[in-house]
Structure 1
Amino acid sequence: MKLINKSILTAVITLSTASVYYAQQVQDTAKAQSKDIEEVILKGVTDIAKDRKTPVAVSTIKAAQILERQGNQELVEMLNTTPSVYATKGGGGFGDSQLTMRGFESRNIAVMVNGMPVNDMEGGTVYMSNWTGLSDVTSTMQVQRGLGSSKLAIASVGGTMNFLTRSADMKQGGAVRLGIGNNDFLKTSFAYNTGKSENGWAASFLMARQAGATYVQNTDYESYTYFFALGYQPSAKHNLQFMMTSSPQWHDQRSYAPTLGNYIYYNPDKDGTPYRPYNSDYGYYTSADGRRTNIANAMNYYSKPVMMLNWDWTINDKSTLSTVAYMSNGRGGGARNQGRVGGKSITDPSFIDAEGHYNYNSIFAANAAVTPTVGVAGNTLVRSSSVNSHNWYGILMNFQHKINDNWNFSVGTDDRYYYGYHYQVVSDLYGASGYTDSFNKNLPTNNIVRNTYDYQKLNWNPFGGANAPMEDRIAFSNDGEVLWYSGFGQVEYSTEKLTAYVQGSVSNQGYQRIDDFIKPGSTQQGQTVDRKTGFKNLFGYNIKGGANYNFDASNNVFANIGYYSKQPLMSAVYPSNQQVVNPNLTNEKIFSVELGYGFKTANFNAKVNVYRTEWKDRWFRRGGVDFGDGIRGYSEISGITQLHQGIEAEAVYKINRFVELQGMYSWGDYKYKGNASGANFQDDNTPIETNGSNTSTLYLDKVNVGGTNNSVPQTTASLGATITPVTDLRIYGNWQYVGKVYSAMNVNDFLKPGNEALKLPDFNLVNVGASYKIKLRNESQYFTIGVNVYNLFDTSYIQDGVTNIKTTDKINNSKDPDNGKTYEEAGRVYNGIADGNRVFFGFGRTWSTTLSFNF
């Protein structure tokens, strides 16, 4: 595993030899590979944790398990057997998964590929739909909960998730793979590795395609993965490698969480139960000849090519220098509805059919009856496309020096430049002759837009991408520029029994907002503003340390402690989508402490740890908020303090060579401390006032944390078994329990004291699967067949909630026959939950099967 030690890209080049076609090799050499991983402690930029050495809570999933069990699941769902991790499918679209770790969402979890940070530099988010190809190339997923061992100044509030990939200079070989599953799931892939030549050259490539739909209505998708790597090692001291990879995709979505009542009302069976696949984000258009066409109101399209050039230099037997230069040119965005026609939004009942979907014939007819004029802005209903592209460049350098057998140190730098492009255009006029927009103040008032831009086609060019002229942009057109530079250092001490380290980093993050719709000399919040804000520089730092002590060959304890002064995200620097810097801007402060104990023998391995993390001065923006009457927008919340504490345990027991048992349990207590301030805005940034003011006190003290966009569980558990009754046949099953699940925070639900986050029903799931290897005469050639069934008992469960309506709350809708009654009085309660709550149900029973040929 010394390739991983050397640097990021020696491992990154890995994307070449996908685990799909080397899975059996990985499985056959699992013990040896595990040993290699354990030889690494806080080295390079990858920072792989070593068992009984690195003082952090860590769990690892290897390639053989990914190949065997992923099927048509989201890759992050493989982590649901890990303590304090909760991965869901989000709205249910391809790649729309959501992840929480110790109660913190993905934007506050450092996601890395071979040590390279991939969290968005403006918003901190990680869209897994951009990284679907990782499932083909990951050899190991390592989750470090809490502070983690990375030396970089990254957002590891909840933890660090590192995807490690295979190396390009593996032995010559390749594989072909075919996978099928429910809802027309089809995946094919081909990969080949030349192996390393006598002259030091190695090349690898992979091509894969995946298409079909998910369990949810109208969630068709298509995704490709391509990879090319070229490596050259001219001598024992130098290693050069180049890699390029991407997973261009498009997918229809379910972005809006329907109400429980609508899940039940629109069930085709009309049996009073929820129809879990229900999706309100699409509809039908019937042509004159009777043909019915699906039209998705919500969809996403993106291509994020990554290119890297790596140079590893072994200076001498004590010193190494690793350098990685990389770039990522992301192209894509997402589609939603925009505007009104006849004063009606797309959610007006007159535009909804009997199945709960949009009646596009009615929308087309209403649009056709309107002549867009400069007098009324937004007087037609159209589909818009929000473009969110970026150019990202970075360099990582890490120098390591071994002082003696016990002491070593490392210093390095992590520097990045990011430019994000954000604007909106019309992608479908829905039969209208134009759309009237008034947001570009540099154009005549109420500019009529008639051109449409269809960005749904896959974009294979990392340097290309359509760029609409300014007169065709609507609603917004702004860019975000981020400049990041940092330095880090680490000192570590290691003996057979004791390992200790101290590490720290300093960083500067500069934000600039550029608004093309600003007219020179405009004022915002009483200040004169320009198109460019100039850079707002924010200084941050962190320091952390820990120690592990091995009492004997079986028992060890560890502890770590750390403090982060973390720069806020860009939306906190320039709130309300304006050019004025937040007058109350401050860094977020995170203090964390953790204690752990481990016990290990030849057949049994167990770990227990306790943790406490306090997060002060948090600021966040929650988008996609429904304010009723067709008005959607966002909320901004500041001054939040959260306290997350809990206990985790996991164990593996190998009874004999036929049976292995796995288990984990986590209990958490995640609560807000004190109150906060909140403000609501429409999507066009118009403030929404409550009681005569746009800013309100949010009474959050001691309220359970429920996340910002998805739910947070505070208790999880799992039990699993893997049985190998005969050689080359593996059968597995696992049970998963999720409890104390709290719905996401909604600003309007906490404007008075005494409210609580909505507690969703606990649930249990069971997954099973099997795989069998068919050997041929040539040992390097074999077939592998596998099958997986997820949610075996077709359990109906709510995975995420986005509102907090109680059964004792009154129904407030003049068009509802139960208006004025409580949900309880009206009998509108499902499984203890008021049916006015908006939720996402988890998938019912799904399945997949795969056949691969290795040669």
Structure 2
Amino acid sequence: MKLINKSILTVAITLSTASVYYAQQVQDTVTKSKDIDEVILRGVTDIAKDRKTPVAASTIKAAQLVERLGNQELPEILNTTPSVYATKSGGGFGDGGLTIRGFETRNIAVMVNGMPVNDMEGGAVYFSNWTGLADVTSTLQVQRGLGSSKLAIASVGGTVNFLTRSADMKKGGAIRLGVGNDGYLKTSFAYNTGKSDNGVSASFLMSRQAGGTYIENTDYESYAYFLAVGYEINKKHNLQFTITSAPQWHDQRTFAPTIQNYIKYNPDHDGDPYRKYNSDFGYYTDASGNRVPLANRSNYYSKPVMMLNWDWTMNEKSKLSTVLYMSNGRGGGTGELGKIGTKSITDASFLDTEGHFNYDAIFAANAAVNLNTAGAGSTIVRRSNINSHNWYGILANFQHKINDNWNVSVGTDDRYYYGYHYQVLTDLYGAAGYKDNANKNIATPRIVNTLYDYKNLSWNPFGGKLAPAQDQVGYSNDGEVLWYSGFAQVEYTKDKLSAFLQGSVSNQGYQRIDNYVVDGSTLKGQTVNTKTGFKNLFGYNVKGGANYNINENHNVFANLGYYSKQPFLNTVYPSNQQLVNPTLTNEKISSAEVGYGFRSAKFNANVNVYRTQWKDRWLRKTSQTFTLPDNTTTTGYAEINGITEVHQGVEFDGVYKPFNFLEIQGMFSWGDYYYKGNASVAAFDDNNNPLTLAGSGGSELYLDKVKVGGSSNNSIPQMTASLGLTVKPVKDLNIFGTWRYVGKLYSTVDVGSFTNIAAQDRGVLQLPDFNLFDVGFSYKIRLKNEAQYFTIGANVYNLFDKIYISDSATSIFGTDKITATNDPDKGKTYEEAGRMYNGVATANRAYFGFGTTWAATLSFNF
């Protein structure tokens, strides 16, 4: 959630005046101030300070976000940071993915003003809920590895911290207009009142953006609003209230098509993949005979965040910061539900010649179903999986300066979360309704036909209505989470040495509530009820580090830490059932890092070496294809436990400024991420029935030494590099360009492929390396009044229209044999059949990166 306070503004100003540029950690040399505002780790924001905080960090300022983000996904601004890989994933608005040092967002602490925003049930971060941050962020910092946060959060891969604008910013405003490819249009207005004589201040922003992305049928509409009101009661007490949200809907592409289909459905039929291809929508014919697009997969959400911050400066040495916050998120994602006979929505008879859904055929088939005599689930409809929540919390942090060298801080972070998960209908696709029998508390199947429009955005900051039980289908379960934690930190600073030691403890209680379970029923020989009762799990972490400034040019640092991390809700209650995991255990993460920094008038650089080991990891992988002992296949999901991963590597970033008009930014990272030892797996079909797999019998995954890939539709690179130039030929004109390289890119681990020990030798599919080039400029037109000026700018991304695979959902090799029964090439390998693209078997499901895209902006500051 978002914490706005006066101390954050101080940090933001300190950082903005430092010599940082485009995700490189380049700040002023260490200051000798011993004021409490200059301690190593500040308040709850915990922003790393150059040559003080012993962590690897990179910083981006608001001006760089405005200048270079354009119509990219919010995490993509971090792609020139070492060991960071951000992609557009399926390509829908806000659907981008992010990894740091090979760890996905579930294990990256994403924070807003020091407050964690990762989902409390599963750790996920949906950037479509946070698109408004691009407009209100004053500073964005990435801390790789353990990070400097004092909270009891498991930042396994790193920490991404957004610092937003403050209520007491300087008086003034800005109007912005942005345009870009595929109908992108963004408008925004912001105004700051400045602080009045009586200590009151306010800051306001409102924006709207709409259009489509590069992918077919990915229209969207998104709003963002931000209001901060501050009141400085006196020199000791400061209050600030903040509310922000970004309600949005967007049509998606969530299924990664096969490379073969990208090529097959290219309208130019030139053998190249049609990168815009989206198999998650189709067309129907309206009453006027027009061909109208209709999305099957869409997402909509509104997550308003409200917080009240109280800063109390007790005396010159002590300070207490307290934050109360609330977030009531409402929304979900759509997709198909049901079958007509044995036909699902992807049946060949329901597809047109362009690879899209033929809704006319689906509507006709649905209309022919007699719901009075048909069984449950006998029509194909569009449902929405609701994932709403109520979230409340309090965070308090007390800081005390013992003397010029020692500082201590203690605090607590307490949260309550209640998540609502159920299905409602959003389109009947021509059917009279949908017959549902999932609720075991209702004896007779019922016909449901109440629809919910996903484009009807919720603006209610207090949550809005939830669907009544009679409108719910498929499933209805809730997750309740209680979180209590305490933390303490000791810091030491003297002359050239800075050091800290931090520890935290936490109790996380999970309860699963299944509204469709009958109290007292039997499951696997055990009695289960609607409510499981709370399962409490204790966790802790300890970490420390030190930085030593050898002289004004050189510094070295080291840090190490250990986490005992509680697993997520679906680990505690696996298989979507009411039974506690009998093998439940905390995940163990140990990490160590050393670094070196060099600072001079023209050249600044950092080098880091790190190693992280993650034991007893539990992972659920969805959308899996399994081979059964009789050599048939089925789809479902897998639950894997006992995973051990090792992530180690080297990072470099630097900035060289040979002349005042020229700046060169560079980055390189090399990683070695692999599984250590084997793991055990349990496989289930789409109806939660357990499966026995071919190979090991389904009990063991042979992963030892296999490279770490993504967990779903994403891939993980183990080598990245970038080189950027910024030229300032005349005052107020910036011209910039960036080259970026991605290599050692590994696909997701396909569970069904690793039940045989032979799979260890070949490992995970490695995708082709790629190089990308981006260019842009910005020019400021100043008016007579220095506070008033226009800024124009433009960016072109993927300048040379490079065709590349950014993510892959499967690991099919060219030497694998084609097994489909009706395939004319059955028995041949993909290489023998000539079914390869750029060295990759065309049966692989993948996402291609966007082709050339562009965005331009015009703004007026006053």
* Structure 1 residue 374, shift from structure 2 partner: 6.3
* Structure 1 residue 622, shift from structure 2 partner: 2.1
Q: Could you say which residue in structure 2 is the equivalent of 1:3? A: none
1:732 is aligned to 2:736: yes
- Output one character per residue of 1:656-685: Cα deviation in whole Å (capped at 9) or x when no partner: 110000001000000001111222333432
Give distance in 1, aligned partners of 2:470 and 2:754: 41
- Structure 1 residues 151 and 570: alpha-carbon distance in aligned structure 2, compared to 1, 3 A threshold: same
Q: Could you say which residue in structure 1 is the equivalent of 2:34? A: none
SS of the equivalent of 2:215 reads: coil
SS of the equivalent of 2:254 reads: coil
1:783 is aligned to 2:790: yes
After the TM superposition, which of the residue ranges 460-469 and 109-118 deviates more from structure 2?
460-469
- Structure 1 residues 225 and 89: alpha-carbon distance in aligned structure 2, compared to 1, 3 A threshold: same
Instruction: Please give the residue correspondences for 1:441-460 in structure 2 after superposition, counting only pairs within 5 Å.
Output: 441-460=440-459
Check whether the contact 1:210–1:224 (CA below 8 A) recurs between aligned residues. yes
Q: Could you say which residue in structure 1 is the equivalent of 2:616? A: 617
Check whether the contact 1:345–1:630 (CA below 8 A) recurs between aligned residues. no
Q: Could you say what the CA RMSD is over the residues aligned between the two structures, in angstroms? A: 2.4
Instruction: Please give the residue correspondences for 1:177-196 in structure 2 after superposition, counting only pairs within 5 Å.
Output: 177-196=176-195
Q: Could you say which residue in structure 1 is the equivalent of 2:768? A: 761
1:636 is aligned to 2:639: yes
Check whether the contact 1:12–1:164 (CA below 8 A) recurs between aligned residues. no
Check whether the contact 1:325–1:396 (CA below 8 A) recurs between aligned residues. yes
Q: Could you say which residue in structure 2 is the equivalent of 1:540? A: 539
* Structure 1 residue 692, shift from structure 2 partner: 11
SS of the equivalent of 2:4 reads: helix
1:580 is aligned to 2:579: yes
Check whether the contact 2:75–2:96 (CA below 8 A) recurs between aligned residues. yes
What TM-score do you get using the length of structure 2 for normalisation? 0.95
Q: Could you say which residue in structure 1 is the equivalent of 2:486? A: 487
- Structure 1 residues 243 and 401: alpha-carbon distance in aligned structure 2, compared to 1, 3 A threshold: same
Check whether the contact 1:24–1:64 (CA below 8 A) recurs between aligned residues. no
1:526 is aligned to 2:533: no
Q: Could you say which residue in structure 1 is the equivalent of 2:848? A: 841
* Structure 1 residue 329, shift from structure 2 partner: 0.5
Give distance in 2, aligned partners of 1:140 and 1:37: 20
Q: Which amino acid aligns with 1:663?
A: G
* Structure 1 residue 513, shift from structure 2 partner: 0.2
1:706 is aligned to 2:709: yes
- Structure 1 residues 470 and 576: alpha-carbon distance in aligned structure 2, compared to 1, 3 A threshold: same
Equivalent of residue 655 in structure 1, options 654, 658, 668: 658
SS of the equivalent of 2:182 reads: coil
Give distance in 2, aligned partners of 1:608 and 1:44: 27
1:233 is aligned to 2:223: no
After the TM superposition, which of the residue ranges 83-92 and 39-48 deviates more from structure 2?
39-48
Give distance in 2, aligned partners of 1:125 and 1:497: 40
* Structure 1 residue 8, shift from structure 2 partner: 3.8
- Output one character per residue of 1:331-371: Cα deviation in whole Å (capped at 9) or x when no partner: 00000011110210111111110000000000001111111
After the TM superposition, which of the residue ranges 695-704 and 130-139 deviates more from structure 2?
695-704
Q: Could you say which residue in structure 1 is the equivalent of 2:401? A: 402
* Structure 1 residue 11, shift from structure 2 partner: 6.0
1:773 is aligned to 2:776: no
Check whether the contact 1:491–1:501 (CA below 8 A) recurs between aligned residues. yes
After the TM superposition, which of the residue ranges 137-146 and 630-639 deviates more from structure 2?
630-639
- Output one character per residue of 1:686-744: Cα deviation in whole Å (capped at 9) or x when no partner: 33332499843111110000020210000000000100000000000010000000001
- Structure 1 residues 459 and 377: alpha-carbon distance in aligned structure 2, compared to 1, 3 A threshold: same
1:9 is aligned to 2:12: no
Give distance in 1, aligned partners of 2:551 and 2:199: 43
Q: Could you say which residue in structure 2 is the equivalent of 1:267? A: 266
- Structure 1 residues 422 and 714: alpha-carbon distance in aligned structure 2, compared to 1, 3 A threshold: same
Give distance in 2, aligned partners of 1:474 and 1:685: 17
Q: Could you say which residue in structure 1 is the equivalent of 2:41? A: 42
Q: Could you say which residue in structure 1 is the equivalent of 2:392? A: 393
Check whether the contact 2:656–2:663 (CA below 8 A) recurs between aligned residues. yes
Instruction: Please give the residue correspondences for 1:375-386 in structure 2 after superposition, counting only pairs within 5 Å.
Output: 376-386=375-385
* Structure 1 residue 815, shift from structure 2 partner: 2.7
SS of the equivalent of 1:9 reads: coil
Q: Could you say which residue in structure 1 is the equivalent of 2:422? A: 423
Check whether the contact 2:485–2:505 (CA below 8 A) recurs between aligned residues. yes
After the TM superposition, which of the residue ranges 685-694 and 98-107 deviates more from structure 2?
685-694
SS of the equivalent of 2:816 reads: coil
Check whether the contact 1:417–1:484 (CA below 8 A) recurs between aligned residues. yes
SS of the equivalent of 2:659 reads: coil
Unmatched segments (≥5 aa) in structure 2: 32-37
- Output one character per residue of 1:405-442: Cα deviation in whole Å (capped at 9) or x when no partner: 00110000000000000001121111111212221100
* Structure 1 residue 546, shift from structure 2 partner: 0.5
Identity %: 69
Instruction: Please give the residue correspondences for 1:655-694 in structure 2 after superposition, counting only pairs within 5 Å.
Output: 655-691=658-694
- Output one character per residue of 1:160-213: Cα deviation in whole Å (capped at 9) or x when no partner: 110112221112100100000000000000011100000000011111000000
Q: Could you say which residue in structure 1 is the equivalent of 2:720? A: 716
Equivalent of residue 820 in structure 1, options 821, 827, 835: 827
* Structure 1 residue 41, shift from structure 2 partner: 1.8
Check whether the contact 1:562–1:591 (CA below 8 A) recurs between aligned residues. yes
Give distance in 2, aligned partners of 1:117 and 1:127: 13
Give distance in 2, aligned partners of 1:630 and 1:281: 23
- Structure 1 residues 804 and 94: alpha-carbon distance in aligned structure 2, compared to 1, 3 A threshold: same
* Structure 1 residue 455, shift from structure 2 partner: 3.0
- Structure 1 residues 253 and 12: alpha-carbon distance in aligned structure 2, compared to 1, 3 A threshold: farther
Give distance in 1, aligned partners of 2:90 and 2:378: 30
- Structure 1 residues 37 and 309: alpha-carbon distance in aligned structure 2, compared to 1, 3 A threshold: farther
1:749 is aligned to 2:744: no
- Output one character per residue of 1:734-788: Cα deviation in whole Å (capped at 9) or x when no partner: 1000000000112111111132111000000000000000011111111000000
SS of the equivalent of 2:79 reads: helix
* Structure 1 residue 453, shift from structure 2 partner: 2.1
Check whether the contact 1:436–1:448 (CA below 8 A) recurs between aligned residues. yes
Q: Which amino acid aligns with 2:442?
A: L
* Structure 1 residue 464, shift from structure 2 partner: 4.1
- Output one character per residue of 1:93-124: Cα deviation in whole Å (capped at 9) or x when no partner: 00001000000000000000010000000000
- Output one character per residue of 1:498-545: Cα deviation in whole Å (capped at 9) or x when no partner: 011100000000000000000122112211100000000000000001
SS of the equivalent of 1:780 reads: coil
- Structure 1 residues 202 and 96: alpha-carbon distance in aligned structure 2, compared to 1, 3 A threshold: same
Give distance in 1, aligned partners of 2:425 and 2:366: 14
Q: Which amino acid aligns with 1:424?
A: Q
Q: Could you say which residue in structure 1 is the equivalent of 2:118? A: 119
1:807 is aligned to 2:799: no
Give distance in 1, aligned partners of 2:314 and 2:753: 60
Q: Could you say which residue in structure 2 is the equivalent of 1:4? A: none
Unmatched segments (≥5 aa) in structure 1: 1-6
Q: Could you say which residue in structure 2 is the equivalent of 1:293? A: 292
Give distance in 2, aligned partners of 1:91 and 1:691: 31
Give distance in 1, aligned partners of 2:148 and 2:388: 31
Check whether the contact 2:27–2:50 (CA below 8 A) recurs between aligned residues. no
Q: Which amino acid aligns with 2:744?
A: K
SS of the equivalent of 1:492 reads: strand
Check whether the contact 1:395–1:414 (CA below 8 A) recurs between aligned residues. yes
Give distance in 2, aligned partners of 1:13 and 1:42: 12
SS of the equivalent of 1:130 reads: helix
1:284 is aligned to 2:287: no
1:169 is aligned to 2:176: no
- Structure 1 residues 642 and 233: alpha-carbon distance in aligned structure 2, compared to 1, 3 A threshold: same
Q: Which amino acid aligns with 1:767?
A: D
SS of the equivalent of 1:235 reads: coil
The alignment of Structure 1 onto Structure 2 pairs a total of residues equal to: 844
- Output one character per residue of 1:354-395: Cα deviation in whole Å (capped at 9) or x when no partner: 000000000001111111246622111111111110000000
Equivalent of residue 830 in structure 1, options 831, 837, 848: 837
* Structure 1 residue 321, shift from structure 2 partner: 0.3
Q: Which amino acid aligns with 1:670?
A: Y
Q: Which amino acid aligns with 1:852?
A: S
SS of the equivalent of 2:198 reads: coil
